[in-house]
Structure 1
């Protein structure tokens, strides 16, 4: 039986043509729950398993769901210290299954999404996972992009300024009400853009539930590379910090794993990253404030589409109320002295 968005017969025919002998039997597939962007399937033939990724159903902007981008970055990182699935095949022909897609190896591991999951493991194992998460981020930011064929994967020059313009433009496109403090937040961010350090490969949405953890509490694979690029690595660290402060604001769709006993506090996470990476984190407040600005824009976009009847689903009705606290927290962080 075909899952939504994936014709297994056409997929099998394409794999047989492009990778003869890879598939041994009839394919079956399950949709991986939890994602709100690209669709992910676990596909198997009774002997082996793979993961297939494709854009969401319906009309989407190609630049927002670039399969070749994800495929390229995991291909480049294969022989580095960053654990990624093996890149098996990229298909950019939308006629095969209805959209471009790629296939990667299946990696054993657990994406820990909730504090309750970690609480069952105990504080020592939770701490080990958090340390591994930070260590793997440091490993990613230490990769020389040119050495792995990713020297042209993005434009590091002017990265922060472009990011700020991009998110402001996205905010303006989904404005349907007054948002107290958001213009002030944007203006203050624009007036104090830091000078970036050495650029690196940036994941774009790095957090515990976007990695797989093995039975030894090590990271077995980093997943969800759709927002990856070359840029300022502190944007990854700042988003990790912002997600960890979810209890201070309203982030209904973000994992609460960082509130589990044993998970290190923000200061410890930042200090560990700084120690392992050797990077200057003295201006991290700007980056964290910018992270809250981005999260506010994302939630406002969801609220806008929900209010127009363009988005349906459990929990969306309360998203709008979460925007103002994000804006307020972003402004408050900028006022803090390091």
Structure 2
């Protein structure tokens, strides 16, 4: 069962509906974001109080880009644990495809109708969810995005894995070192519309323009749509199309695992270098058998926990999502919101043979 807002919010929703019917409205009415904020004490009205008491008994729904994806399973469990500590309820919904934007929109609308207190969403497309998310906020639902953002005016806080600059730069640096600073490389991404992927790739392209990387040529950006089979096939296609390929960057956990699987059973093992963003549990075998030297990732459980705590802080009126506001984030300490409502749990970790067994996610 989903939780509901306070009694006053329910009353407001009833009154709004009655008014709408009396006026002969053809669409469902609802409390506005500002009205809900004034009644519930949420931060939507623009008046943050960092000393406000943390609310309990809230319901926060997680909508990842793809359910049953090991990365999001770990991230969302981090959110679930954080909500349990805070005395609130957790719910996860979502599609099994990483490219079903219509499905994501439908889930946002359903969660709004069910009057969850807040939702944490990893957007498959930067703009497709905007109308639905704005409607959710007008109905008093606090909206946090995590891992992959929507447009900044369609949510209140974005929990970024790490800075886009750091992630784009470090993945290029990892591969450049492994290929000796020269040769053809390719990028194996997720969906063409994935906000986070495109942001990191833009940074990678800028990084490759630097004098230090003048002998490295990016020949193609391929898309596996966060589908294991398609990513496997795209890896195969890249190697057939570019026989002199020296390395691949895959900034997606599904993509890097599929690429490693292909390379490990091919003549390219050890010859074509692979790095990107992966989980230790997915990549451990490929590191140990020599297919992959190094890869990186933040700890997804921390990302989910931070998304949950940001959602509760919004609902409690402790933050609004404005730059400079702070809130308590458990083991992560006090977090400060940056420009455009962005907050991050920290720098990514580089994994190799020396440390990959120290992590379990």
Normalization by structure 1: what TM-score? 0.26
Normalization by structure 2: what TM-score? 0.25
Q: Higher RCO, 1 or 2 (CA under 8 Å, sep at least 6)?
A: 2
Greater strand share, structure number: 2
